[in-house]
Structure 1
Amino acid sequence: MRWTHSGLPRMGVDLAYYWAHRTLHGLHVGWAAHSVHHSGEDYNLATALRQGALQPLMTWVFSLPLALFFPAESISVHLQLNTLYQFWIHTELCGRLGLLEYILNTPFHHRMHHRPPGNCNYAGVLIIWDRLFSTYQTETERLDYVGLAPSARTFNPVKLNLRYWQKITKSFRCNGFRSVLRACFMVRVRHALGFSPRALIDGFEEMKGGRSSWSLPDEGRPKYQGANLDWTGKAAAVGLLFCSFVCLQKAERHQSFARLSCSAGGGLLCLFALGDLLDLGSWDRSMILKLLTAASLIVTESGLSRRAQ
């Protein structure tokens, strides 16, 4: 029986994604990697692109058993399609979509996942998994309230990727390495194990106050705005983003450890300087030092590249 072209790989990948996503919220070590995605306080398409750098190191385990039944190429393609589908559900502009809400994950479902505490509606493409396993919550009011609780209060991508790890490792200084491991794998969110096929046909709660699900939210909380940059600051931010992107892309192609370290180090320092600029809006001594170090690493990598040729 050829399963490669059937719907089974799609269903298997989506189910694996559900449990991976649920585990990322459920364990502290998972939340340390995944909380970056929830750090944005505006619910828009750009939120879909805000991904944790370390998250792929944890989620692959859930897709691995699928290799016993399906070709690796098929799994890889469906994983990419699963991620691509989730881009459009990060928007405030879409309300309830009728019968599609019983099957597909939509903005109506996913907004509840991004509203603190957000420990619900873990689905990728099919919302049926949340309804089957009792982790579904209905959006009944439109609130401009997304992100972390409390707010991360930074736009620095390096700090956002490290902030929860720092919180976990505070116990390392006090109680030793074992306490850090214990903290990492301690349960953060407990869901009662349940399986309810009947929930697939349950209706959705009505919107509060008789409001339309298509109405835009008019209540929220104060949002972190960062620095008020002028046009030169914005141009510098774009330049730092471009420089970091080029460096990190080059790092992926390097086989030499020295060249990889120089490219990755330069890219990360550019990202760190970008975050400082977005948060502070000024060129302080620390930011200039990061840029000089990044420039030296980039020059070193170029020299090593010419020598290798």
Structure 2
Amino acid sequence: MKSFQTHKVSQEHASLTIEDYLKQVLHYSGRKIQKLTRQKGIFLNGKAAFLQKQLKLQDTLRVLVVEDISYGVQPEAGNIEILYEDDYVLILNKPPYQLVHPTGQTTSGTLANYLAYHLAEKGVVSTVRPVHRLDRETSGCIIFAKDSRSQFLLEQQLKERVLKRTYWALTKGIVEPPAGTINAPIGPHPTSPNRRAIHAKGEEAVTHYQTIRRFSDASLMELSLDTGRTHQIRVHLAHLGYPIIGDRMYGVRSPLMSRQALHAVSITFEHLGDNRQITVNAPLPLDFERILNSFGK
């Protein structure tokens, strides 16, 4: 069965030809456009359309999705929690301790393996494309693109800060000031290849934070990122003097939690079909709920 993606023409793109829309808005190459026309894969308001047809506001353009030929990973049966899905993206709730994608010697048991199996069960062949990463111990929202064009557009949203990621972290100590911005460059650690560190020659890294709740010797923080450096939140909070509870790499072990208390609580992005703003939330995992309850008492 052929799969199509639907696009509503906005005022900004009205008066473009279909060919211009495919090139300028969807970033299709000339070769790919030729392939679409050969396969009769372009429809305007339900009818086959010519490339030079001029678009009008609120026109509906349907474009054939050129299917992938592999998943990019080995499909493997396992549980996934889908928080949101449309023609372009999937957002999953990653449990703690699971890798997003195979890396190094770990080739199975990852979220990507399980997602590939889920797609195979539905009879869909689509390369698994995570748009960003979460550390193994971090839980919560992670977004996957369903095709290369969607991946490109989501990565553009990430660069332009249209796609926004919000995190909750439980830190040691009462954070002062209670809200602010950490702007400190991050690069490789001078002695440990697995760690990152603040140093002048690092890449720009900007984290915004605010305190949600204070406890006797801990703070529940909400954080958002302008950049996406490896371990950014963990490094920045430790640099500020308030390491995440349970973060053994940048802080200390905790008897209250066996991992870092960091959760990707939401993702906000612009729908790739009609430009609506969409926010997807991930519930707190049980271990995070338990530690909050213990502090709350």
* TM range, smaller chain: under 0.3
Q: Structure 1 length as normaliser, TM-score?
A: 0.24
Q: Report the TM-score, using the length of structure 2 for normalisation.
A: 0.25
Higher relative contact order (CA 8 A, sep 6+): 1
Q: Which structure dedicates a bigger proportion of its chain to strand? A: 2
